[in-house]
Amino acid sequence: MFEPIFEIEIIPALSDNYIYIAHDAGGGATAVVDPAEAGPVIAALERRGLELTHILNTHHHFDHIGGNAELVECYGVPVIGPRADSARIPGLDIEVGEGDSCTVGRETARVFDVPGHTSGHIAFWFEKSRALFCGDTLFALGCGRMFEGTPELFWSSLGKLRTLPNETRVYCGHEYTQSNARFALSLDPDNEALKAACQRVDDLRARGERTVPSELGEEKLANPFLRVDDPDLQRLVGMEGAAPEAVFAEIRRRKDSF
């Protein structure tokens, strides 16, 4: 049976951000991932009687690091984040990038460089807990906006994440799933995996529930941004045989104006 090391709590913040608290009871460690703001994190820690031990950042945007300073002041913990974005993350203590690891209690993440949304974006994959913290690179049924990358870079980042096991849970930075689902369905209306995912997402949202985390195996089948090299998707967008990065660029462009 699957017994994750981390117990992961999802904390909604700002308008549609998610902050994650990953707690290893046996290892006595508690990390927060992408604290948009400190208040709800402190409240959650106090409610559970937990002491924060690490702050993890995926990228420099304010809605992912805004709570860093106050949390450091309260708990005196190290901030771990992207080497390539170190100049834009005040107070970054430990810089990590592709191939590095990051240990939290009895868990160790493999770090991936996943540029595209921002140039210094990273993702943390905690294999034993089947948890991927990917910020604004990969969303449930979508991907982040391409602010600082090229289609080549963004697609190679998504391609890396796509190699992870199907059981991986995707803990992304925002609750954007329902609008992502509408766009995906507009491209690919007969995709059974996508239709099932959309139905589930609509049901969850109708009850006011979260759609995150999603499962990577389902993303591989349903998320158009992970299928830009799939001939079926290419045909649907009129780009059969095109380079995957060109298909990525086209559907990212369509999504921006959807």
Q: Which is nearer to Fe ion, 34 or 107 (CB)?
A: 34
Q: Which of 59, 85, 113, 188 is catalytic?
A: 59
Residue 122 half-sphere exposure toward CB, CA atoms < 13 A = 27
Nearest-approach distance from CB 45 to Zn ion, in angstroms: 24
- Number of residues in contact with Fe ion under rule CB under 5 A: 3
Residues 123-152, interacting with Zn ion (CB under 5 A):
136
- 64 noted as active-site residue: yes
Nearest-approach distance from CB 148 to Zn ion, in angstroms: 10
- 121 noted as active-site residue: no
- 136 noted as active-site residue: yes
Beta strands in the chain (DSSP E): 7-13, 17-24, 29-33, 54-56, 79-82, 94-96, 101-104, 107-113, 122-126, 131-135, 138-139, 142-143, 169-172, 214-215
Asked if residue 175 binds Zn ion (CB under 5 A), the reply is: no
> Rounded to 5 degrees, what are φ and ψ at 104?
-130, 105
Classified as helix, coil or strand, 69 is helix
Q: Which of 23, 113, 174, 188 is catalytic?
A: 174
Closest CA to 137 of 248, 238, 25, 53: 248
Q: Which of 173, 213, 224, 244 binds Fe ion (CB under 5 A)?
A: 173
- Contact assessment for residue 69 and residue 91, using Cβ atoms and an 8 Å cutoff: yes
- 174 noted as active-site residue: yes
Residues 23-62, interacting with Zn ion (CB under 5 A):
61
- Contact assessment for residue 152 and residue 247, using Cβ atoms and an 8 Å cutoff: no
Q: Which is nearer to Fe ion, 37 or 136 (CB)?
A: 136
Strands 29-33 and 54-56, by their bridges, are parallel
Nearest-approach distance from CB 118 to Fe ion, in angstroms: 10
Q: Which residues bind Fe ion (CB under 5 A)?
A: 63, 136, 173
